[in-house]
Structure 1
Amino acid sequence: MRIPWRTVLLYGGLLALGTLLLQWLDYQRLVRSHASLVYEGLLAAGFLALGAWLGVRLLARRAPPAVFEGNRPAQAALGISDREMEVLAEIAAGHSNKEIAARLHVSPNTVKTHVARLLEKLGARRRTDALRRARELGLVP
């Protein structure tokens, strides 16, 4: 005996409707018995949405930070190469010679040579003196 598809769809639809009605009644009972929790949840969701909206609005208006160009004439006058400028920027970031060597993919001895030349060109005895002088000249931010 074959069951027509219409009958299957009709019974399936009626079962789905009955399940939906039972779930709705259970939801109504849950909301009535825990009304304060539902209100608190809705209030929290509202504040969450408000905070997200305000965050997007306030943070979107900020301009991107300007890219630091450096003082090219001072760099040329002192004879500081681009590679030495990279080393100077890494020194300004607070990295050690080993860290600078790893970041720039050179040996630590090469970094020591660059640092020694920077100290000589900037007329400094220590890295901190070189950084102070470089900042005065506008070579590093």
Structure 2
Amino acid sequence: MSKWTKALKIQIFISSILTIYYRYAYPNAFKDPGIEILNKYGSGIVLFSLITSYILLSNINKSKYIKCSSRIFNVMFLPYDFAKVYLIAFQILFKNYSTFNLFIGIIRILGFTLIFIPLTIVSFSKIKT
């Protein structure tokens, strides 16, 4: 297993923990218009896709079908999941620490490009067509 696959697995694990946290820490998201939190169905779908992706990545060396399924699943679902979890984290930071908006905004812009590097190297690099 390469270091990028390990990094992607760690990123999936952290995103899963954050999804669970967002679901239970902010149950009344519709009453707070400043934060777009996943509802119970959205968080369930994101969590399901993250767990499925983690399981497929853990068993990627078992057969070529699992490897192909993992790539397809990662390409289809992980960009949305990572972007959603990342953006919700920064919405919460913007709301709670409004005096540091410029600094948080710079970190958000730089970090948004960095969160896709492990996914791009592991899954997108093998796509030929």
TM-score (norm 2): 0.26
Larger Cα-atom Rg? 1
Larger RCO: 1 or 2 (CA < 8 Å, sep 6+): 2
Name the one with the larger helix percent.
Answer: 2
